[in-house]
Every structure is written in structure tokens, then in C-alpha cells.
Amino acid sequence: YQRRVREAVVSTQSTGSSGINAEYGQVDIPSTTGHFGILPNHVPTIAILLPGVVSITTEAGDIQKFFVSSGTATIHADSTVQILAEEICDVADIDGNAARAALEASKSKLASASSEADKAAAQIEVDVYEGMVAVA
């Protein structure tokens, strides 16, 4: 399990930035305050992401789904949505068997963790792999 910060920028217009760049009709995100949808002209907001699926619906109605492990989403006044995630991948790229095996290993690590730091790190892994298993 490696952590890499990735950026996704979605907007009502192409921005030309690095990472995932898409024009959208709606973006749905999993946050600590619940799952919510973002439409163009959404009120500027900052949200903390939970492990789960970010769905980007284009104006044509096509849906792209990405798994995020954690991170933040910033909705800007110009209708761009910036997603900074520790890990982000296409849902179709998740190997369900590998995710289940990693979940079991993470649960074992949590059960045997002795320090609070080790318990916290193992719990984060469990949360991420539970999210991956749920969408695989």
C-alpha cells in the first residue's frame, strides 16, 4: 500500500491541468459530511474525502467512476472542482481478490498492533480496503 497524492480537476470547461481533467455536468463525492453532488455554480466548499467512489457525470451523461482513499475536494467559485487524493484509480482497475486479501492482512495488522500509532495506521488501511472491496 503506497501513498501518492494525485490531483483531479473537473470543471465546466477544460482547464488543461495535469491529472484527471474532465468537463462535468455533476460530480458526486464521498465526504465526512455525507455523499453529495456538485453541479455547476455550486457554492464554494471544501470537503474531506472518505474512502469511496467519486463519480463524474459528463454533460452528455457518461459516468466515470474513480476510487479515492482519502483527500480533499475544493469547489471553487468558477465551478472547478479540485480533488486531491492520497490514491485515486479507475474503479474498473480494482482487483477484488487482491483488495479482499489486503483487507484481511490489514485486519490482522490491526489486531496485532500494539502502539496507538500502529493501530491508527492499520485502521486507515482497513477503511481503505473495505471501501475498495465494496466497489470491486
Q: How confident is the model at residue 117 (pLDDT cuts 50, 70, 90)?
A: very high
pLDDT at 88: 86
Decide if pLDDT at 11 tops 60: no
Angle (deg, nearest 10), helices 116-135 and 96-112: 160
Q: How confident is the model at residue 2 (pLDDT cuts 50, 70, 90)?
A: very low
pLDDT at 9: 52
Decide if pLDDT at 15 tops 70: no
* Contacts (Cβ under 8 Å, ≥6 apart) of 4: 86, 87
Q: How confident is the model at residue 21 (pLDDT cuts 50, 70, 90)?
A: low
Greater model confidence, 110 or 80: 110
pTM, rounded to two decimals: 0.79
Q: Burial letters for 47-71: b for 16+ Cβ neighbours within 10 Å, e otherwise?
A: bebbbbbbbbbeeeeeebebbbbbb
Q: Largest Cα–Cα distance in the chain? A: 51
Q: How confident is the model at residue 18 (pLDDT cuts 50, 70, 90)?
A: very low
Strand 63-68 with 52-57, pairing: antiparallel
pLDDT digits (tens, 9 = 90+) for 42-53: 899 999 999 999
Please provide the average confidence, as pLDDT, over all residues in the chain.
84
pLDDT at 82: 86
